[in-house]
Structure 1
Amino acid sequence: MLVMIMTGCTDTSWNNPNPPEQPGETVYYGSFSTRLQHLDPVRSYSAEEALFIDQIYEAPYRYHFLKRPYVLEPALAKGMPEVSYLDKHLKPVPRDSSQPAYSVYIITLKPNIRYQPHPALAKDEQDNALYLFKDESSALQYKTLYDFPQSGTRELIAADFAYGIKRLADPKNKSPLLGFLSNYIVGMEDFSKTVMAQDRSGWLDLRTLPLEGVEVVDKYTLAIRIKGLYPQFRYWLAMHFFAPMPWEADRFYHNPGFQNRNMTVDWYPIGTGAFMMTRNDPNSGITLERNPNYRTDLFPSEGAPGDKEKGFLTDAGKPMPFIDRATFRLEKESLPQWSKFMQGWYDRSGDDGANISSSNFDRAFTVSGNGVDLSQEMLDRGITVSTELKPSIYYYGFNMKDPVVGGTTEAKRKLRQAISIAINTEEFLEIFANGRGQAAQGPIPPGIPGYVEGKAGINPYIYDWVDGRPQRKSVEQAKRLLAEAGYPNGRDKNTGQPLILYLDTTGGDAGPIADWRRRQFEKIGIQLEYRTSDYVRFKEKMRNGNTQMFGWGWLADYPDPENFLFLLDGSQTSENCQCDGANTSNYDNPAFNLLFQQMKAMDNSPEREALLARMVEMVRKDAPWFSGYHTKEYYLNNSWVSNVKRHGIAKDTFKYLRLDTAERSQRQVQWNTPVVWPLIAGLAGTAIIIFPAIRAYRRRQTQTINKSTSQRGNG
């Protein structure tokens, strides 16, 4: 009976970990691996948090889902920004005049865009805010955002963008972009100082404080004035930092006692995106639901070559989103995440950028001379793979101020070049990353303007072009360069002392990767030592330039070479910018710096490409970085999920997903049919053992009763 109850009384799998669905509802099931810290769009600079933020909030612009190279398109804006130029007297000047003092971006919004339902926008019959409280005791019954019985909405207007930018400039919000954007948006630095001088004991209405560089022209038009020429500013307008914020939400979350109960915009977002958050338990799970006020947004009708054949245009012209709800569970370990994906409880192998772990890679893929292919098990299940060569670079760097590995002399360059040849990046990727990466030929990754394919794009100081592909120069060549640098056989030619170099790391000095690094240096006679510290101390070393060699990385904020080459700009060293400089190698080449300033003020053109080629050549020759690579990531999709094309920069991709829920249910039952024979066998074995004991017990009881009856009869 127990077996029958467990296996025969339901048409779904009894081990289903997902909550029940409503009839006709399309639900996506996913996971995330890192506890979220911030959901405030002006605070978060995390890819894991952007997985949720970018579904809820929208910026004026976004990236086309399918087109490659990456292409900006209007989102909340009616069209691309109109850009005009002014001199220092605020008089109009042409773009090709001598350097304009200012650029003005005019953004015109689409009308009739409305916010998701939210209690901050709820009004009474007199059009007053319904939930404003004078003291904490008046609102004690509201423990979470979901305790409010009424919600409201209103139309998006240009003033909401102005308010959002002012929040970004408010030092109290601790935006990571405040320092950077203060260099561009006119008056932002002064606005921040003004805000800090205000009484902050209660809510500060930022509408009352002017920000010089941001002007609300009319209900749907906003003007942003920035310093000089910076064409890349349009990319920043596609990031969630520039999402609109209704002032009513800021006021609502400053109700007395709300922050003590964690009722803040950092915990409960409010946006115009395709989804709204209806559950936020970062220790357990997060739920997003379709925004009922979302505007008409159609799936793209064109894409990159081959997208039609791959089925990415099947839904062209259809309104999005295609799913009603997305439920995400926190999975801190890769094993349970993988197991649930293989059982069909998760629709894809990872949503927050978590790559397939090495322990599962061999099960999912087969590696051959032809590359990486899905394993037969995956093919039998109908699983598909999405690959992505991310616009990123991970590298080891030299501290160019270090007396041993730094400097600009020819000898110092040859030392760095010798080490760059010796550290076999291809071997590292093959051993430790299942080949999931591509050795870097320079600081610009594939897919970004300035990257050059083929023979013309190799680093000639490290590689030769052999049989149609780059081939790393020999160890003998590295040893010759090392000798010419003054260290024959790894010893100082003047003192005879061995050359010992130090790598600063947080990963310790033991383990396979640490041993592999040592062997790479030993190939040319150099001894490698590790200086390990915790992450806080490591960051302090990087900030103060107290390293010799280190590992670092960068993932593109936007698809422009400026976003990578600024990592080598001399103004970005910690010494020159008096900040946590992005130029961690302290590379400061005056010629490179001059070209960088010219290049970043240019639109893409053959002239800009020529400047980029010169800059890349300088970096290759000077070698402030070594052993760089671009990551290639693999994501698995169950057969019932479509429109799964990965985007290297944009995260707002859940509205494009389509699910075949009928197939999912069928597969879940198929893959989770309970194996009951061990239970039956166990019950049978138990019965076999217990039944003789029961018979013996009953026999003994019968004998006792008979004996007792006989004795009474005799009496």
Structure 2
Amino acid sequence: MKKVWVAALAALVVLSAQAQDKVLRYAFRAAETGFDPARVSDSYSNIVNTAIFDAPLRWAYLARPYRMEPAGCELPTVSADFKTITFKVRPGLYFSDDPAFKGQKRELVAADYVYSIKRHYDPATNSPNLYIFESAKLLGLSELRQKALKSKKPFDYDTPVEGLKVLDKYTWQIQLGKPDPRFVENLTNPLAAALAREVVEMYGDKTPQHPVGTAAFMLKRDEWRRSSRIVLVKNPNFRDERYAEEAPADRPDLQAVAQKFKGRPLPMVDRVEIAIIEQSQPRWLSFLNREAELIQELPGEFAPVALPNGQLAPNLVKRGIAKVPYVNPDINHVFFNMQDPMVGGYDVHQVALRRAISLAYQTDQEIRLVRRGQMIPAQGLMPPGTWGYDPTFKSLMNEHDAAKAKALLDLHGFKDRDGDGWRERPDGTPLRLAMNLQETAEDRARAEIWQKSMAAVGIRIDFKFGKFPENLKASRAGKLMMWGVAWVATTPDAGYHLAIAYGPNAGQANHARFDLPAYNALYEQQAVLPNGPERQRVMNEATKLAIAYMPYKVVGHRLWNDLTQPWLMGYERNVFRRDFFAYVDIDTERLAQETR
């Protein structure tokens, strides 16, 4: 009788585990800024945007090399001259329910993509991503924007333009003013995601608080706590989409996952709960205490404990924890505001100042003490994992030579004139730097290295620690002298990173507000060239100019390890695909056993 009772109890436990919601829990390192694809550019907000909205295309989750696949639209037809791109919206895709639709089920159509891209040109939107479209010169749209700016009247969404038009209910077309072999890759990004016009018109400036999309998840607004907690739940109107991933030939572990999940309806989890935990220690402890299914980007200070000698620690192996290593396609840098009178400008002595600051900074100390070896020194603006990155390219970007820095400062008039141990500018006014950073232990440790590095050559530097969204807002407005931040690729092409030094992108991607005609010409030249030796040469020349003028002190590219709990199934890091939520599953029975 006892055996029967035990068996029955075990069966109930299994049924309970199977019936409960599958919840994916993890943490962001910085707060979101909002959920409107036309208004945001930070990675954290866009992770959520990708889960809610359908861009026209996306990167296949497991495919290596990276491959584009349909999302809201089928793969487009691209003309031989790379100027005309024609899309077909996939029929039968519906927005999640919202009062803006007045009780009607609302299908995604071509006009939604045309409207959503036009929003970037609307001055009222203040899009940080406008540069991506303007650089490709969509015919007629810049002129429509200028008309709105000059007349100070609302942007006219209904005026037909050659560069962006609806051909029929499901077909729309882009006409570029110049060839752009890679423009279509930008349409994998949530910046090209479709919003419904009636939603934007209903909520206006509050649209970032009311995301309504056609993708797998929707924001649970009553559980959203800004800068603290984000909850996503399944979109009940999501299409019937099945797991059909193809794993790389050299990854038998992923091939087994792909086979196991093949044909499963997506998404496989019911809820995604995202905590905002800016400090590394509580984020790490949350994972160790089984309060999160994974920790992305293992903080450097815990690498010696979790990954001694690069191998997962035995105690973590015993718990069934796994690691997912990868090189991030990013550049971690400090920019100098080229319009700031202290560090900006193109005069020889100002260029010398920035180069001296770069020479004085101890990159090796940051990599060893702050990053705990989880970073490789950068040689320029282009990161690993992107076309254009050349592992053989070497530069003086991360040369450390305090003596050379002092000599350069002396030569160009930055001397200690009053004998207090600190240098003044050539005109005798104080030389004092100001750098913004985030309120994290990691950034405070970086500040110490910057402080010591600058003191070693007689330069004073002050620090202001703030929240990422506030720093981002101030930086876009040109109010920061220097800011330490990362720029992460959204497509596997290094042209995305060269854009941060292109003059017309000032206040958008170009936070340094660098504007050098020779660099701009090279950037424009590489943008229209197909991938090949000539484009590589031009990109390298542009990089050399950026290094010479030093608007960005690029420190390095991060080497990350994500750690996962044993009950999280199917996780792999695709650095160009943010919405992994839809492709993972929770083994609820294993979870129950591990956490009881």
The TM-score, its normalising length taken from structure 2, stands at 0.80
Match of residue 223 from structure 1? 173
Q: Tell me which structure has the larger Cα radius of gyration.
A: 1
Question: Amino acid of the residue matched to residue 528 of structure 1?
Answer: R
Pair 1:380-2:312 in alignment: no
Give the Cα–Cα distance (whole angstroms) in 2 for the partners of residues 641 and 485 of structure 1.
Answer: 54
Specify the SS of the correspondent of 1:270.
coil
In structure 2, the partner of 1:213 is 163
Asked if residue 504 in structure 1 is aligned to residue 462 in structure 2, the reply is no
Over 3 Å counting, the alpha-carbon distance change for 1:317 and 1:195 in structure 2 is farther
Paired with 2:108 and 2:216, the residues of 1 have a C-alpha distance of 14
| Deviations 1:143-190, CA, capped at 9 Å, x for gaps | xxxxxxxx6535432222223334444444443334663563333345
Task: Say if 2:569 and 2:584, in contact at 8 Å, map to a contact too.
Answer: yes
The correspondence for 2:588, drawn from 661, 671, 696, is: 661
> Where does residue 244 of structure 2 map in the other structure?
299
Matched, 1:436 2:374: yes
Comparing 442-451 with 556-565, which one deviates more in the overlay? 556-565
Separation of aligned partners in 2, 1:49 and 1:451: 27
Sort the Cα spacing of 1:289 and 1:602 in 2 relative to 1 into closer, same or farther, 3 A: same
Match of 1:176?
A: 128
Tell me by how many angstroms 1:438 deviates: 1.8
Structure 2 unpaired stretches of 5+: 1-8, 425-430
2:87 is paired with a residue of what secondary structure? Answer: strand
User: Offset of 1:564 from its aligned partner?
Assistant: 1.4
Match of 2:92 among 90, 113, 133: 113
TM-score when scaled to structure 1? Answer: 0.68
* C-alpha separation in 2, matches of 1:247 and 1:402: 40
Who is 1:702 aligned against? none
Provide the rounded CA distance (Å) in 2 between the counterparts of 1:488 and 1:173.
44
Say which structure, 1 or 2, has more relative contact order (CA 8 Å, 6+ apart): 2
Please give the alpha-carbon distance, in whole angstroms, between the structure 1 residues aligned to 2:383 and 2:350: 26
DSSP 3-state at the match of 1:107:
strand
State whether structure 2 residue 393 is matched by structure 1 residue 457.
yes
Q: Deviations over 1:358-391 (max 9, x none)?
A: 665554332x3xxx33222211111012233222
Percent identity reads 23
Following superposition, the deviation at residue 452 of structure 1 comes to 1.5
Q: Give the aligned partner of residue 112 of structure 2.
A: 160
- CA 1:304–1:291 in structure 2 vs 1: closer, same or farther (change >3 Å)? farther
| Structure 1 unaligned regions, length at least 5 | 1-9, 13-19, 85-93, 96-102, 122-128, 132-150, 464-471, 574-579, 670-715
Please state how far the C-alpha of 1:538 moved relative to its aligned partner: 9.9
Give the 3 Å change call, closer, same or farther, for CA 545–570 of structure 1 in structure 2. Answer: farther
Structure 1 residue corresponding to 2:290, chosen from 332, 344, 350: 344
How big is the shift at 1:273? 1.4
Counterpart for residue 52 of structure 1: 48
Structure-2 change in CA distance of 1:171 and 1:349 (3 Å): same
1: CA distance, partners of 2:276 / 2:409:
50
Which residue in 2 is equivalent to 1:186? Answer: 139
- CA 1:344–1:290 in structure 2 vs 1: closer, same or farther (change >3 Å)? farther
One-letter code aligned to 1:270: V
Say whether 1:28 aligns with 2:24. yes
Deviates more, 1:484-493 or 1:22-31: 484-493
* Candidates 498, 510, 527, aligned match of 1:565: 498
Which secondary structure does the structure 1 equivalent of 2:332 belong to?
Answer: strand
Structure 1 residues 424 and 543: alpha-carbon distance in aligned structure 2, compared to 1, 3 A threshold: same
Matched AA of 1:505: M
Counterpart of 1:241?
191
Does residue 483 of structure 1 match 2:407? yes
- Superposed CA offset, 1:563-588 (max 9, x none): 21122234445xxxxxx264444545
Correspondence 1:351-366 to 2 at 5 A: 355-357=297-299, 360-366=302-308
2:330 matched to which residue of 1? Answer: 392
Residue in 2 aligned with 1:145? Answer: none
**Alpha-carbon distance in 2 for matches of 1:57, 1:462:** 39
Q: Which residue of 1 aligns with 2:566?
A: 639
| Whole-angstrom distance in 2 between the partners of 1:208 and 1:619 | 41
Separation of aligned partners in 2, 1:186 and 1:268: 31
Tell me the residue number matched to 1:42: 38
Change (3 A) 1:186 1:411: closer
The 3-state SS of whatever aligns with 2:133 is helix
- Whichever residue aligns with residue 394 of structure 2, its letter is I
Aligned twin of 1:615 = 542
Contact 1:35 1:330 in 2 (8 A): no
- Secondary structure at the aligned position of 2:172 is classed as strand
> In the alignment, which residue of structure 2 is the partner of 1:64?
60
Q: Does 1:529 align with 2:475?
A: no
Moved more, 505-514 or 43-52: 505-514
Partner of 2:4: none
Is contact 1:191-1:210 (8 Å) kept?
no
- Write the distance in 2 (CA, Å) between the matches of 1:533 and 1:668: 37
The amino acid of 2:138's aligned partner reads I
Does the 8 A contact of 1:42 with 1:168 survive in 2? yes
Using the TM superposition, give the Cα deviation of residue 214 of structure 1 relative to its aligned residue in structure 2, in angstroms: 1.9
Say which SS state the counterpart of residue 50 (structure 2) adopts. Answer: helix
1:532-553 deviation digits (Å, cap 9, x = unpaired) = 5978799768856884x65444
Superposed CA RMSD: 4.3
Match of residue 487, structure 2, among 542, 549, 554: 554
Contact 2:56–2:70, Cα closer than 8 Å, also in 1:
yes
CA distance in 1, matches of 2:118, 2:124: 11
Are the structure 2 counterparts of residues 34 and 539 from structure 1 closer, same or farther at C-alpha, using a change threshold of 3 Å?
A: closer
Seen in structure 2, the aligned counterparts of structure 1 residues 178 and 443 have a Cα distance that, compared at 3 Å, is: closer
User: In the alignment, is the contact (CA less than 8 A) between 1:113 and 1:294 conserved in 2?
Assistant: yes
Measure, in 2, the Cα distance between the counterparts of 1:407 and 1:191.
33
**Aligned pairs, number:** 568
Taking the aligned partners of 1:37 and 1:541, their CA distance within structure 2 comes to 14
> For residues 159 and 630 of structure 1, what CA distance do their matches in structure 2 show?
40
Asked if the contact 1:565–1:596 (Cα under 8 Å) also holds between the matched residues in 2, the reply is yes
Shift in Å, 1:115 = 0.8
TM superposition shift of 1:297: 3.9
What CA distance in whole angstroms lies between the structure 2 residues aligned with 1:329 and 1:538?
A: 21
The within-5 A match list for 1:620-631 is 620-626=547-553, 628-631=555-558
- In the superposition, relative to structure 1, how do residues 153 and 358 fare at CA in structure 2: closer, same or farther (>3 Å)? same
Give the Cα separation in 1 of the matches to 2:84 and 2:386: 26
Question: Which residue of the partner structure matches residue 79 of structure 2?
Answer: 83
CA distance in 2, matches of 1:590, 1:172: 29
**SS at the partner of 1:565?**
helix
Task: Identify if the C-alpha distance between structure 1 residues 611 and 532 changes in structure 2 by more than 3 Å, giving closer, same or farther.
Answer: same
- Taking the aligned partners of 1:211 and 1:407, their CA distance within structure 2 comes to 39
Task: Find the residue that maps to 2:51 and give its secondary structure.
Answer: helix
- DSSP 3-state at the match of 1:559: coil
Partners in 1 of 2:358 and 2:112 — Cα distance? 50
Question: CA–CA distance in 2 between the matches of 1:63 and 1:462?
Answer: 32
Provide the residue aligned with 2:5 in structure 1: none
